[in-house]
């Protein structure tokens, strides 16, 4: 069973390129302005955190939440560059993408390649594993042994995803992804690591290593938590979309399998309007500052699942895709769902 949003009309489904085309041309003025404002705000937040340490480190930690928001916005700019949507020039996209990637501890070239695979396979059961949250079907979970069930339960625990997840992301991105990284991607990882090392060394010489750690570490952590949260709720909600093989459709997966996360304006600004994720997944060539307009001007996008902040919290209780019911379910809805139960034959 599919959600109501999972069945757009054939006419619209085949004509979606005409819908998104008017929004795919980036504005150099808007892109440059957004980049300048974001980096100025991020730099200003770091300076404010530095001086706040003279008053109280708790004040610095409070400011790190704001700085984390600016870092998320910096990541969104890198994200747009990876899709070739921030500037018309590929060279400009790659240059800005590399710099913003280094600021967010992300190897731009490899990340862009892996993320493109995610877009091409999002919601496809037979193509899972690239840039997504590991999701098993009920049948797959029930066929697992006890140890593997426990591992999956630990992985899907919100505390693990949101506390250990950011640390794992930072460490994982220091090496290239086996099987997905060509020479260009491997070189990009090494250049990013070298750039980060040089930048951190310069910062340590300027203000001292303890202050650098005290300022940058919590900022990166909070930004990574926000990033994981956003990515999770953008695809992990009850009536999302999963299909296999010929049953899978790109445009349906984009609109039905990506949420419309309705965020307050300030959070929408901090996150570069990525809450309009259904629009972004249908056309990653739309720059972030046109996503809202594309959504508001086209009824086709209004069928996407709307997710509020309160509803997004509940999304973390969903653990498995139930193919029979066509929706995500929690542990309580799985017959033999306890990890210590004897695996049943399927």
Q: Please check the confidence at residue 342 and state whether its pLDDT lies above 90.
A: no
Would the pTM count as exceeding 0.75? yes
Residue 2 has pLDDT above 60, yes or no: no
Does residue 115 have a pLDDT over 60?
yes
Is 50 exceeded by the pLDDT of residue 4? no
Q: What is the pLDDT of residue 183?
A: 86
Here the tokens at position 243 are: 């299909």
Query: Rounded to 10 degrees, what is the CA torsion of 91, 33, 203, 227?
Result: -80
- Whole-angstrom distance, CA of residue 172 vs CA of residue 180: 14
State mean pLDDT over 139-168.
95
Task: Report the pLDDT value the prediction gives residue 10, as an integer from 0 to 100.
Answer: 47
Average pLDDT over the chain reads 91
Residue 300 CB contacts under 8 Å (≥ 6 apart), including other chains:
8, 12, 16, 19, 255
pLDDT-based confidence at 335, cuts 50/70/90?
Answer: low
Task: Look at residue 128 in the predicted model and tell me its pLDDT.
Answer: 87
CA distance 250 to 252: 6
Q: What is the DSSP letter of 15?
A: S
Q: Is the pLDDT of residue 15 over 70?
A: yes
Residue 334 pLDDT: 87
The pLDDT value recorded for residue 182 is 82
Cα(93)–Cα(80) distance, rounded to whole angstroms? 8
- The arithmetic mean of pLDDT across residues 185-206, rounded, is 95
- How much is the pLDDT for 246? 92
Residue 233 has pLDDT above 50, yes or no: yes
**pLDDT-derived band of residue 158, with 50, 70 and 90 as boundaries?**
very high
With 50 as the cut, is the pLDDT of residue 24 above it? Answer: yes
Q: How confident is the model at residue 282 (pLDDT cuts 50, 70, 90)?
A: very high
Q: In whole angstroms, give the CA distance from residue 331 to residue 39.
A: 43
E strands along the chain, which residues? Answer: 136-137, 260-261, 306-307, 320-322, 327-329
Confidence of residue 3 (pLDDT cuts 50, 70, 90): very low
């Amino acid at each position: 069973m599919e959600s109501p949003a999972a069945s757009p009309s054939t006419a619209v489904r085949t004509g979606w390129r005409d819908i998104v085309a008017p929004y795919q041309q980036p504005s150099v003025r808007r892109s440059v302005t957004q980049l300048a404002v974001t980096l100025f705000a991020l730099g200003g937040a770091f300076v404010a955190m530095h001086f706040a340490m003279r008053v109280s480190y708790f004040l610095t930690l409070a400011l790190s939440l704001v700085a984390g928001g600016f870092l998320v916005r910096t990541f969104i700019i890198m994200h747009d560059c990876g899709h070739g949507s921030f500037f018309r020039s590929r060279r400009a996209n790659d240059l800005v993408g590399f710099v913003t990637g280094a600021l967010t501890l992300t190897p731009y070239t490899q990340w862009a390649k892996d993320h493109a695979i995610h877009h091409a396979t999002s919601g496809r059961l037979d193509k899972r594993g690239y840039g997504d949250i590991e999701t098993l079907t009920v049948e797959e979970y029930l066929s697992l042994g006890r140890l593997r069930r426990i591992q999956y339960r630990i992985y899907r625990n919100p505390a693990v995803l949101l506390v250990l997840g950011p640390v794992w992301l930072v460490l994982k991105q220091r090496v290239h992804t086996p099987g997905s990284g060509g020479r260009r991607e491997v070189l990009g990882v090494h250049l990013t690591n070298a750039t980060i090392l040089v930048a951190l060394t310069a910062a340590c010489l300027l203000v001292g290593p303890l202050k650098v750690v005290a300022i940058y570490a919590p900022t990166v952590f909070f930004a990574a938590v926000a990033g994981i949260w956003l990515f999770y709720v953008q695809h992990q909600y009850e009536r999302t979309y999963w299909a296999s093989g010929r049953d899978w459709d790109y445009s349906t997966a984009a609109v039905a399998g990506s949420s419309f996360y309705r965020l307050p304006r300030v959070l929408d600004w901090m996150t570069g309007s990525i809450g309009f994720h259904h629009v972004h997944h249908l056309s990653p060539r739309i720059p972030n500052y046109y996503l809202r307009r594309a959504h508001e001007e086209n009824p086709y996008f209004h069928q996407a699942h709307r997710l509020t902040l309160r509803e997004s919290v509940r999304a973390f209780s969903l653990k498995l895709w139930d193919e029979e019911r066509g929706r995500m379910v929690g542990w309580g809805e799985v017959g033999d769902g306890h990890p210590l139960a004897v695996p049943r034959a399927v």
